[in-house]
Amino acid sequence: MTNRIAYTKPSITDREVAYATDAAANGWGERCYDYLKKFETAFAAHLGTGHAIATSSCTGALHMGLAALGIGQGDEIILADTNWIASVAPVRHLGATPVFVDIDPVSWCLDPDKVEAAITDRTKAILAVHLYGNLCDVGRLQQIAAERDLYLIEDAAEAIGSQYQGRRAGSIGTFGTFSFHGTKTLTTGEGGMFVTSDTGLFEKVLTLSNHGRSRSQTKQFWPDELGFKYKMSNIQAAIGLAQVERIDDLIARKREIFSKYRERLETYQGLQLNPEPPGTVNGAWMPTVVFDRDLGVTRDMLLAEFKKTSIDARVFFYPLSSLPMFTPAKQNAVAWDVPERAVNLPSYHDMSDADIDRVADVVRSFLR
């Protein structure tokens, strides 16, 4: 019986275990924020951003960031139709209107021309999600946001290790968000981070994250406004600190696995892999294959074959507008087409070359 290949798996070493153990044994009372502070500082330093606030999830970080910008009823937020629901749920929770636009067929991220065409008087922000580690066209989106006086927000949950002209994904827009869910490049089990270099915005989110209690408020149990409770625990942060101390290795290994897939697949015709345009680095969170339409490969065929060979394949995100809580936007032709003939490939730190060969063999079996 061959081993089952999972699509992701965290890399947990003695360091994570030691820090978590220390936090569990000693991280209480006056020390209850020690690992949190260290993790936030180390993560901000890695990213090159001014401020970082650890949260219980990326969804929570996004919710607070949008709320701090005053986004609500009547406001429109532009994002790609191809996305995980976590990116759009906070928009709806705040009463704002998500506007789904089509993706670029190469990056699978926001198509800047479609973004421009979707802007109205009500548009407040462009939510750029760097899908699977692929970067959005940050330069053009920044230009559009500046010209039309919009916020550019980065959901960089999938883009740890990705860089645009030397700047790390998540550190470029008005604010950025990250997820440390168990499937992500850096994990704390569940968890997230809000990052910004805007000190005013940081203070607002810090207050919101503490049930609306400003850190300058001296009265006990006195919220000045209605806030949120999306905090990370010190024990999770202990694991996070160990992970961020290993971040270069975690990213390098993701990139190495992707390049091994690329070596094994790129000489074949009929498929497309994650791009890495000049001036960018792809953090390679999730190696992905899109098969040419004329090969006739379907999602069901892919899932069946991977299942047969004990490999956990992951479907490419369905268009958000195809989900029951939204209105179908079939004019987003690329977003509706690509997932029908695409699959995410397994990638995790301790994956062996033999595992990579096994996965690549399955992909190749569809090519000839």
Ligand X SMILES: *Cc1c(COP(=O)(O)O)cnc(C)c1O
Q: What residues line the site for ligand X (CB under 6 A)?
A: 57-59, 84, 86-87, 129, 155, 157-158, 179, 181, 192
Nearest residue (CB) to ligand X, 20 versus 193: 193
CB of 86 to ligand X, least distance (A): 3
CB of 308 to ligand X, least distance (A): 28
Nearest residue (CB) to ligand X, 5 versus 136: 136
CB of 99 to ligand X, least distance (A): 17
Residues 6+ positions from 365 with CB-CB distance below 8 Å:
305
Nearest residue (CB) to ligand X, 129 versus 363: 129
Nearest residue (CB) to ligand X, 71 versus 129: 129
**Distances from the Cα of 64 to the Cαs of 93, 123, 137, in angstroms?**
11, 19, 25
Token readout for 152 is 């550019």
Nearest residue (CB) to ligand X, 131 versus 257: 131
Nearest residue (CB) to ligand X, 126 versus 362: 126
CB of 159 to ligand X, least distance (A): 8
Residue corresponding to tokens 């690509």: 338
185: left (phi over 0), alpha (psi -120 to 50) or beta: alpha
Is the separation of the CB atoms in 76 and 120 below 8 Å? yes
Measure the CA–CA gap between 35 and 242, rounded to whole angstroms. Answer: 10
DSSP for 181-216, please give it: BTTSSS--BS-EEEEES-HHHHHHHHHHHTTT--TT
Measure the CA–CA gap between 220 and 22, rounded to whole angstroms. Answer: 30
CB of 131 to ligand X, least distance (A): 7
CB of 184 to ligand X, least distance (A): 6
Residues 6+ positions from 180 with CB-CB distance below 8 Å:
58, 186, 187, 188, 189, 190, 191, 192, 193, 236, 240, 243
CB of 41 to ligand X, least distance (A): 21
Beta-strand relationship, 288-291 and 342-344: antiparallel
Nearest residue (CB) to ligand X, 8 versus 207: 8
Residue corresponding to tokens 């992500």: 184
